[in-house]
């Protein structure tokens, strides 16, 4: 079993140019990085806004109690 797995990894490494080098050469690397960064920042902003709303609701509930 181990021999089969090592052969598969060796065969996978011998195929053509690496995907990262192809992406860097065509400029898609920076586009992908930019899109991932924008999505990550959007999620962070969303979570911060939701946290503030939850804090306001908790504060309001404490005042009513």
Per-chain mean pLDDT for the chain: 81
pLDDT of 5 reads 53
Q: For residues 57 and 1, what is the distance between their CA atoms, to the nearest angstrom?
A: 58
| Residue span of the structural domain in which 52 resides | 17-64
**pLDDT band per the 50, 70, 90 thresholds, residue 36:** very high
Which one has a higher pLDDT value, 12 or 48?
Answer: 48
Q: Cβ neighbours of residue 32 under 8 Å, at least 6 residues apart?
A: 23
User: Does residue 44 carry a pLDDT above 70?
Assistant: yes
CA atoms within 13 Å, Cβ hemisphere of 20: 1
User: Is residue 10, in this structure, part of any structural domain at all?
Assistant: no
pTM over 0.75: no
How many domains does the structure of the chain reveal?
1
Q: What are 45's two structure tokens?
A: 């902003």
User: Is residue 7, in this structure, part of any structural domain at all?
Assistant: no
User: Is residue 31, in this structure, part of any structural domain at all?
Assistant: yes
């Amino acid at each position: 079993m181990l021999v089969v797995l090592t052969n598969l990894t060796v065969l996978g490494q011998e195929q053509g140019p690496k995907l990262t080098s192809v992406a860097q050469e065509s400029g898609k690397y920076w586009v992908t990085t930019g899109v991932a960064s924008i999505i990550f920042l959007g999620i962070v902003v969303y979570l911060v806004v939701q946290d503030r709303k939850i804090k306001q609701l908790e504060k309001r509930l404490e005042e009513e109690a």
